[in-house]
Every structure is written in structure tokens, then in C-alpha cells.
Structure 1
Amino acid sequence: MSGNEKISELDKVLTQFNVFGRYHCLFMFWSFLALASNAVFCSNFVFSAEEVSYRCKDEGFGNDTCTNMANSTAECSEWTYEDPNSFVAEFGLACQDWKRTLVGTMHSFGYMVGLLLVGPMSDRLGRKLSIVITGMLGGVFGVARSFTSNYWLFIALEFLEGAIGDSCSPMFILTIEIVSSRNRLLFYILCSFGYPFGGVLVSLSAWKFTYWRTFLRVIYMPALLFFAYLFLIDESPRWLLIKGKKDKAIKIIEKAAEKNKIKIDKTLLEKMECEKEKSVNFFRLLKMTFESKIILKRFLICLVWWTTSTFVAYGLSINSVSLRGNKYVNYALTSLMDVPANFIILLSQNYFKRKAPLITSFLVGAFLCLAHPFLPANLSWLSLIMYMASKLMSSFYFTITYMFTSELFPTYTRNSMHALCSSLGRIGSIIAPQTPLLMHYWSGLPSLVFGSVSLIAGLITFLVPDTADNSLPDTVKQAEEIGKKGDLKKPAPDFVIDKDKDCSRL
């Protein structure tokens, strides 16, 4: 039996499940909440460490300036802050704006480093346990930050939270591994509505709890309940098969079948196999993967996708609070752009698969960002529409990048490679919190940079094959066969909806 045939047996089993059955609806809800926590954790610094106006008590200094107008060498000895209870005021960050933006940069840097740890941990310990560990640690570090009075301790805790306190990576992998290849896209998109929910939740929480310490406690305390995921979700059957734990995988599938009130052929379950993981360490597995020139090329392209996606998506969200109007509403609206994006992605990829929509969204997003700075100043409504449309495009290609990357690499190192691409690509989100500082030189400079990198990413996407109809590859050899003539493909659509079954709104 070939590798492709073996993995098809698992797909045959998973295809019998309707993703709107009870078992998958429950998992969808728990995944929804976990992905919402990612949006909350990654973006709360926009409000907790927001910009605050200040002035020197010495009238010789101008408002919001850091230099005495009469004597450029004079230093202010005491500052008055617009909000004395703000993060900037409590840590005395007047004229040190880089320390304020460093909060977001350090979180992204921690996330970048942490993915190199969380990815292998998920491949070794399992998706489920990794979700519990990282989710709870995120809550611990977040609450601890709300009590600290030392700036550098705050920064250290921010780094640790980003590094080992976010369950997004293992939850994503688990989400796509518990369904068949034909339903991967639909199921993940439905779960990923957690991202805009988290964005709206963090903006409304900041609006309600204006004191930054209270705000942090309110959004991080619920994360301690991730412990309950030990009992609420199951491990990935695909991961269990790779680890040689076939009996456990079968029990999970039978449990799911019972909840969905369907019967699975016992013979089919016994045939279900995945090639077992070889007894080599993580670095050897990576070496085996990178020895393939085809996989290496795809890895480099994925890095460009991830860097562009994180840079533009986070950059546009962060800069949205500088738009005219209520900053909380603006941020919530920007987050909600993910909702129509998800619906459009479902429709477009059912007809056009992965590659064409990814190229289109990159190029259209590039055009919108490049054109935005040159709009007439008196057309503020048009500027807002263009800005939101740019965010919509970034939502398109960020979501497709998540899915596309996971389908290009073998099961042995899928989570590790996905995490590695995501980790190194976080260079974009590390730089993104600094983009508001570019507005001191020219207000349109951030958009111009966003557009340029989107254009480059769109052009290099022509170099990869489409993966929409392929089963997830288990080995490097299977991964190399993607896009070649004669590889195993499925004529079925990306998703099938049973109109007789549905689940309640999340």
C-alpha cells in the first residue's frame, strides 16, 4: 500500500462525518474561543499601551514637545499627562515613545521565538496538551503583567506570553487534522470567526474598562480556564496514527461517530493507517525536509507570505486607531473585516482553489494600499472605504496563507514547519507596531510600504502549485508530488454542506 493510499483510508473515514454534526459543532465552538483568545492576546497592547498626550509643567516647553523652545539642551523635570492613570504616565514614558511601541514589538518577537518551541512541542506532546499548556500560561503571564510596576519586568512578561502563552498554532493544526481534506477549508473558516470576535471583544473591553491594569485582568483571567480543554476536546487521530497509537485514534473516531449518530465500517477503521514517525530527532526531521529543493523553495515562498501577511494585517489594525472617529469603533470595524473575508474565501476557493485567490488578494491589496496616500484630503469617506478594503484583502491572504502553508509540508513536520514559517514570518508583526512612527515623516508612508510588500508577495505566488484537492501528505516524497501530473487528487469540492443538518450560531 502506498503512502497516498494509506492516507486516503483515513480521509475516507473522516469524509463520512458531517462537519455540522454535534461532535464537530462542539469542537468548532471550543476552537472558536481559542482562536478568539489569540486575537485578544496579540492586539491588546493597542489599548493597554496606547498613546497619551503630555506636556511639561515648565511653560517654556511647548505642548507635546520634548525640547525647550528657548534652550534645546534643557530637559523637563516633571511632566503632566492627559491621563495620569495611563500606561505611559505610570511608567513615565514621556518623550520615550519607542518604549510604548516596544510592547507590541516584544510580544511579536516572543511569538516568533515561541513558535519554534510550540511547534515541535505540539508534534511531540500532541496538539491537545500543547493547547492546554500554552493557553493557561498566556493567562498567567497576562494577569502578572497587570500587577507589575517595573517597565522592564512588564516587557519580559510580554515576551514570555508571546513565546509560550498562545495556543493558536496547535489549535490550528488540530482543527485541520480532525476533518477530511474536502472539508478542511470550510471547517477552519468557521472556526476562524473567532479572530474577528476576539478583535471586537478586546476593543469593547478597552472601551468599558479604561484603566489598563483592570483591562488586562478582565481579558486574561478567562484564559486560566484552558485547563478544561483536557476534558472538552480530543487529540488529533492523524497525530495518534503517526505516533503508532491506532487504538486511541479509533476510539476517538468511534466516539465522534456516536455523537454524530452515524456508523463507521469497522473494516475501514482497521485499514486506516499513516506511515509511522521515524525514530529521529527534530533537527534530523527538519534536515530530511530541507534536503528537498522543492520543499526548500516552498518554505522560502511561505516566509514571504507570512512576513507580508503579519506586517500588513497587524499594521493596518494598529494604525486604525489613528483614523478619524471613535478609536474603539474603528478598531472593531477593522476586525470585523474578517467576517465578509471569510465568506468570500469560502466561495472563491470552492471555485478557484488556493492559488488564484491568494495571488488576487495580494495584488488587489497592493493596489489599494499604494493608492490610499494619494486620495484627495477632502474625501475622508473614500479614504476610510479604501482603508477597510485594504484590511479586507489582508484578511483574505492571511487566512489563505494559514491554510496553504499547512498543505505544502508532510505530517512528520507539518506543525513544526508551519510554526517555523509563522515564526520567522513574525518579523512582519515585530516591525508593524513601529509603523505609526513613520507618520512623523509622511502620513502616507505606512500605506506605501504595505502596498510594496504585498505586490512582491503576489508575484512570487506564481511559483507554487495549488493544493486544494490533495490529501495531506505524510512524507517528503508525497509532498513533492503535489502539483505534478499523476498525483492523487480528489474531484470532490472543497466542502460539502448537508442542508438537513446544522448547528446553532457560535
Structure 2
Amino acid sequence: MDFDEITKKLGEFGRYQKFLYLLVCLTASIVGLFAVMGGIILATPEHRCKIPGLENDTFEIQSEAHKDLIRQYIPPSSDLLLTYDQCYLYSFNSSSVTFDNLSRPINATRNKCTSWVYSFEVFDETVASKFDVVCDNAYQTSLTKSLFYAGVFVGAFIFGQMSDYFGRKKTFYLSLILMLVSSLALAFVPNFIGFSIINLIVGAASQGLFLTGFVIGVELVGPSKRIWAGIVIEYAFAIGLICLAFIGYFVRNWQYLVIICALPFALNLCYWWLLPESPRWLISKKRFEEAEAVLRKAEKVNKVKLPDNLFDKDMDEVPKPTGNFIQLFTNRILLFRTLIIFFNWTIVTMIYYGLSLNSGNLGGNFYLNFFLSGLVEFPGYTIVLLFLDRLGRKRLHCICMIVGGLTCISTIFTILFGGKELQALTTTLAMIGKLGAAAAFAIIYIYSAELFPTVVRNSALGASSCVGRIGNIAAPYVADAGTMIGGKFGKAFPLLFFGATAILAGCLALFLPETLNQDLPETIEDGIQFGTDEYKNRKKDLSMEEKVMRPEQMAKLLPHDRQAQWSS
């Protein structure tokens, strides 16, 4: 039997599949805790230079004498604490000094700080304040965030290959152990370089754990439930983002936060006895007895009856059309579509993670913004479930990208001309942009899988995901660019950039063909003609021909010892 036929008889989403899928979703939620954790643990608190010789100097003003002492080294402007120089100490003669329009001394000696004091208003301690990664070294926090997503890129490639070679279950467990060890080690690193290296490993392990677990859960699901299963796991991931905001609010020390988020992986160690190997993978390796054992267990749990003979191990395989991934770049039509898909993957991943990381920089309550950033993903995924089969892949993806982009761009007006009184509106517009990015992220995966021909679908989808990680790596730099630019425009810049690129990607996607209710392309030639009237007519003709089965086709369905008799 064809495996999809087996899942239909087994129950496309029976009790056994639901149990496995629940386990996978629990893991996805824990992985979600680490997806944008860098936005919290690598955040830079408000800070200024520590006053030389003052042992108990703190960011908060302790007395008028303390304030006067600070003024001797760092003359403030009208906003007092918020505009103390964060990176330099000044040495000047108070009787003859002159000031610029920011109340900074002009004729003064300026020296770089060697130590700082930090505000405890939002954080007790972050990685940046622990290792003094500020001022000239501030770029290192963006680099470390990018290293996490570089690890995600590496993990997608390495663990994807391991999953196909060694099996889903072994790869999942290896990723789990690596994730548990590396995430706990992250909390005890002695220096910033060590933190950055281990953070890369955490990124790789998290991607291996999420992807492999997802495959285990989904490969037993029937064909009509796959899109549903592919979207619902994103809800679980978003739950992790929301939980991160709650934990971060109550646990404001980065080490304790990392430990609390890492410990649940220890509970996943029992999955070795709960998660089976994927029967699809076992069949692909011709390990039929093991595959049948898994299916018979599912048969009992689902309380159904499967046929006695699930696999004909001696049946000759029908020759399948072949294709090469390079062929996507040798034909003008396929090249054009592939580049548009690659660009959309890059932009949607950059916007999704960039807006998540940038939510703390929007102003207002830091943790509330992080909470809202995770919460808005729920209506985003719900929109996809409700309208994907109504509006179509292309139309819905373009709407999500363009609407999300326009709302992000609109924040430039509320930030530049509104100020604090329009802070709520700024946050709302940014969250609508995140909603659009989350929905588009869910759509682009399905859209890509349906658009590429079957003969190169896996390799093309894997390449799309890898190219998309370029957006992940770039996201922290764009999100942190606002801090480097400074001022109101600096606050608006990341949203302006995300919005403009989202609109461009959404408009380019209009040049792609729709895949809803279409016979998906099988060969490279199908891929070239896909979306044309010629392709639709040819598929219609083939469908009519298949209603009358040819003798050689019927022979392949018979037992091996009767094929020759039937053919004669």
C-alpha cells in the first residue's frame, strides 16, 4: 500500500498521532523560549561612566552631593540622567568652560570610560552589563545575536542531513542532549567570547530539535491534515515567546533566566521511550518490519484495523522522473521564480525575527512589548488557517506582506511627529507588522513546497530555508541599528527598513503562479509550464487517460510471480 493510503486507513489524525504531535508541540514551545531570548539577555540597560574613585557609584542619584559629583565629570543636558554621556568622561575648568547645544563641554578633555554603572529599572543584569559590552564594543551584542541565527543555519543543514541518514529519532535525541548541555553551559560562561561561541551551538541545537521533532510528528499525519499540522505547531512556538516575556518580567537576571528556560529540556529526555522512529523513514530504508511494528502500535491505539499485508517488499518500483536542483537556475522561468522565492524567504525571516528583537526598543514597557510580539502571532496563524484555501497562497501571502509593511512604515509618523503621547499607536502598528510577518512566514513554507517540482522539491525547499537564514543573521543588525543611529529617526529606522523590504517582497510575489487547487508540478518541464493554460490542459488530458489503466500498469499492482502471466 501507498503510505498515504495507510494513514487514511489508520486515521489521518487519530489518537496515536495526536499524542505524538502533542509531544512535539511541547518541545516546540520550549525551543520558542530561546528563539528571541537574545533580545532580553543581550539587551543593553541604561548606563553611564562610573565616576573615578567613587566606590559606591550607582546609576540612580543617591543625593545632591552625588549629583554634583557626576556633573563634574559628565555635564548633563536638560533630561539629566538620560543624556549623561554613556562612553566618555570630561575633564574641564568650570570657570572657563563653554558648552555645545547638547550641554556638552567644548573646551574639555574627553577620555573613554573603562567601567560603567547601569540602571536596574528594566534589568537586574544582562550579558551586556555583566561583561561591559557597551560603547565601542556595543556592536558585539548584535554580532552575538547573529551568531545564534548562524547556528540555526548550520543546524538546519547538519541535522537535516543526519535526520535523513541516521533517522529522525536518533537525530532528535542528539539535538535534545546538545540543547540541554549547551543552554545550561550558556549561563556559566566566564567571558563574552565563550558566551558567543556557546550561543552559536544553542542556535544549531534548537533548529535540529525543532525540525526533527516536527518531522516525526507530521510524517504520520494523513495528507488532508498536513497543512493544519504544519500551522498548529507555530502556535506552540508562539506560546514559548509569550512565556519568555512572563519569565523575563519576574526573573530579571540573565543567568537565572537561561537556567529556568533550559531545565524543561531535561523532561524531554523521556521522549526516547515515547517517540517512535518515523515509519516513512524506515520504509525509505527498506526496514519494513520496524515500520510495520510502529504502525501496528498506532493501529491498537487508534482502534482501527489495517490490512494484514501492508507492504509488498518484492514489488518492482515504478520508475520515477528525475531532476537536478541546478536545473532551477538554467531555465529563465524557473530562475526568475526561484529568486523571488529566495528573496521572500530572506525578507520574511528577517522581518519576523527583527520585529521580535526590536519590540523592546519601541518604547513603553519592555516586557509588555515582548508579550504582545508573541501574542499577535495567534491571530496571524488563525488567518492562515481560515483563508489559505479561500484566497489562495499567492494572494494571502502578498496581502500579509504588504499590509504588514505599510503598518511598519506608518510608525515613522507616530515616532517623528507624535512622541510619547502616540506610543500606544506606534506599538500597535509595529505589532500589526509582526502579525503580517508571522502569517507570511507560515504561508511561504507551504507555497514554496507546492511551487517547486516534485523531483527537486526537498532540495529546493531546503535551499530556500537556508537562504532565508541570511535574513535571520541580518535581523539583529537592523534591529540594533536604531540604537547606533540614535534619536527619533534611529527609533523609526528598523521599522522603516522592515516595512519597505516587506512591500518589495510582497509585490514581487505577484509574479508567481497560484498553486491553490492546481495539479502540482512533478517534473522540471511541469515546473516551467506551471500556471499556464498549456499546463492545465495537458494535466486535464493526462487525468482522462489515467481513467483507463494500461496493462503494464495493472501488472505492477499484482504479486511478483503473476506479473509475467498478466503481461502475456
Shared topology, TM-score over 0.5?
yes
Q: TM-score, normalised by structure 1?
A: 0.84
Residue 295 of structure 2 corresponds to: 253
Indicate conservation of the 8 Å contact 2:279/2:294, yes or no. Answer: yes
Q: Does 1:325 align with 2:364?
A: yes
2:201 aligned residue (160, 175, 184): 160
Q: Does 1:115 align with 2:156?
A: yes
Q: Does 1:54 align with 2:75?
A: no
Moved more, 118-127 or 264-273: 264-273
Determine which structure has greater relative contact order: mean sequence separation of CA pairs < 8 Å that are 6+ residues apart, divided by chain length.
1
2:43 counterpart SS class? coil
Matches within 5 A, 1:107-256: 107-166=148-207, 167-256=209-298
Question: Aligned-pair distance for 1:154?
Answer: 0.7
Q: Do the aligned partners of residues 227 and 398 (structure 1) sit closer, same or farther apart at CA in structure 2, a change above 3 Å counting? A: same
Indicate conservation of the 8 Å contact 2:12/2:223, yes or no. Answer: no
Q: Does 1:315 align with 2:354?
A: yes
Instruction: Please tell me the residue identity of whatever aligns with 2:117.
Output: T
2:397 counterpart SS class? helix
Residue 510 of structure 2 corresponds to: 462
Residue 66 of structure 1 corresponds to: 87
1:244 counterpart SS class? coil
Residue 98 of structure 2 corresponds to: none
Residue 91 of structure 1 corresponds to: 131
Residue 405 of structure 1 corresponds to: 448
1:179 counterpart SS class? coil
1:356 aligned residue (390, 395, 398): 395
Indicate conservation of the 8 Å contact 1:136/1:226, yes or no. Answer: no
Question: Aligned-pair distance for 1:289?
Answer: 7.2
Q: Which has the larger radius of gyration?
A: 2
Output one character per residue of 1:409-435: Cα deviation in whole Å (capped at 9) or x when no partner.
577875554343222211212121122
Q: How far apart, in 2, do the equivalents of 1:463 and 1:274 lie?
A: 41
Indicate conservation of the 8 Å contact 2:328/2:338, yes or no. Answer: no
2:48 counterpart SS class? strand
Q: How far apart, in 1, do the equivalents of 2:332 and 2:512 lie?
A: 13
Output one character per residue of 1:153-204: Cα deviation in whole Å (capped at 9) or x when no partner.
1101111222344322223344443223321111222222111111011111
2:388 counterpart SS class? helix
1:55 counterpart SS class? strand
Instruction: Please tell me the residue identity of whatever aligns with 2:350.
Output: F
Instruction: Please tell me the residue identity of whatever aligns with 1:86.
Output: T
Q: Do the aligned partners of residues 390 and 269 (structure 1) sit closer, same or farther apart at CA in structure 2, a change above 3 Å counting? A: same
Equivalent residue pairs, number: 479
Matches within 5 A, 1:356-395: 356-375=395-414, 377=418, 378-395=421-438
Question: Aligned-pair distance for 1:384?
Answer: 2.6
Instruction: Please tell me the residue identity of whatever aligns with 1:61.
Output: I
Q: How far apart, in 1, do the equivalents of 2:480 and 2:231 lie?
A: 34
Sequence identity (%): 28
Residue 466 of structure 2 corresponds to: 423
Indicate conservation of the 8 Å contact 1:19/1:25, yes or no. Answer: no
Q: Do the aligned partners of residues 173 and 354 (structure 1) sit closer, same or farther apart at CA in structure 2, a change above 3 Å counting? A: farther
Residue 562 of structure 2 corresponds to: none
1:301 aligned residue (326, 337, 340): 340
Q: Do the aligned partners of residues 481 and 202 (structure 1) sit closer, same or farther apart at CA in structure 2, a change above 3 Å counting? A: farther
Q: Does 1:44 align with 2:33?
A: no
Instruction: Please tell me the residue identity of whatever aligns with 2:113.
Output: C
Q: Do the aligned partners of residues 77 and 358 (structure 1) sit closer, same or farther apart at CA in structure 2, a change above 3 Å counting? A: closer
Instruction: Please tell me the residue identity of whatever aligns with 2:423.
Output: S
Moved more, 476-485 or 418-427: 476-485
Q: Do the aligned partners of residues 41 and 391 (structure 1) sit closer, same or farther apart at CA in structure 2, a change above 3 Å counting? A: same
Q: How far apart, in 2, do the equivalents of 1:123 and 1:354 lie?
A: 29
Question: Aligned-pair distance for 1:457?
Answer: 1.5
Q: How far apart, in 1, do the equivalents of 2:523 and 2:356 lie?
A: 38
Q: How far apart, in 2, do the equivalents of 1:286 and 1:109 lie?
A: 24
1:422 counterpart SS class? helix
Indicate conservation of the 8 Å contact 2:10/2:305, yes or no. Answer: no
1:234 counterpart SS class? coil
Q: Does 1:80 align with 2:117?
A: yes
Q: How far apart, in 2, do the equivalents of 1:176 and 1:447 lie?
A: 35
Q: Do the aligned partners of residues 202 and 358 (structure 1) sit closer, same or farther apart at CA in structure 2, a change above 3 Å counting? A: same
Residue 101 of structure 2 corresponds to: none
Q: How far apart, in 2, do the equivalents of 1:254 and 1:482 lie?
A: 40
Q: How far apart, in 2, do the equivalents of 1:228 and 1:417 lie?
A: 34
Residue 499 of structure 2 corresponds to: 451
1:93 counterpart SS class? coil
Indicate conservation of the 8 Å contact 2:44/2:129, yes or no. Answer: no
Q: Do the aligned partners of residues 107 and 289 (structure 1) sit closer, same or farther apart at CA in structure 2, a change above 3 Å counting? A: same
Output one character per residue of 1:447-492: Cα deviation in whole Å (capped at 9) or x when no partner.
11111111221122234344455788887678778654255999xx
Q: How far apart, in 2, do the equivalents of 1:11 and 1:85 lie?
A: 52
Moved more, 475-484 or 387-396: 475-484
Output one character per residue of 1:304-340: Cα deviation in whole Å (capped at 9) or x when no partner.
1221111111111111112343322221121011111
Q: How far apart, in 2, do the equivalents of 1:307 and 1:431 lie?
A: 9
Q: How far apart, in 1, do the equivalents of 2:514 and 2:287 lie?
A: 32
1:74 counterpart SS class? strand
Q: How far apart, in 2, do the equivalents of 1:290 and 1:273 lie?
A: 36
Q: How far apart, in 1, do the equivalents of 2:317 and 2:529 lie?
A: 17
Question: Aligned-pair distance for 1:34?
Answer: 2.3
Indicate conservation of the 8 Å contact 1:141/1:165, yes or no. Answer: no
Q: How far apart, in 2, do the equivalents of 1:355 and 1:368 lie?
A: 20
Residue 304 of structure 2 corresponds to: 262
2:221 counterpart SS class? coil
Q: Do the aligned partners of residues 274 and 264 (structure 1) sit closer, same or farther apart at CA in structure 2, a change above 3 Å counting? A: farther
1:262 counterpart SS class? coil
Indicate conservation of the 8 Å contact 1:200/1:336, yes or no. Answer: yes
Q: TM-score, normalised by structure 2?
A: 0.75
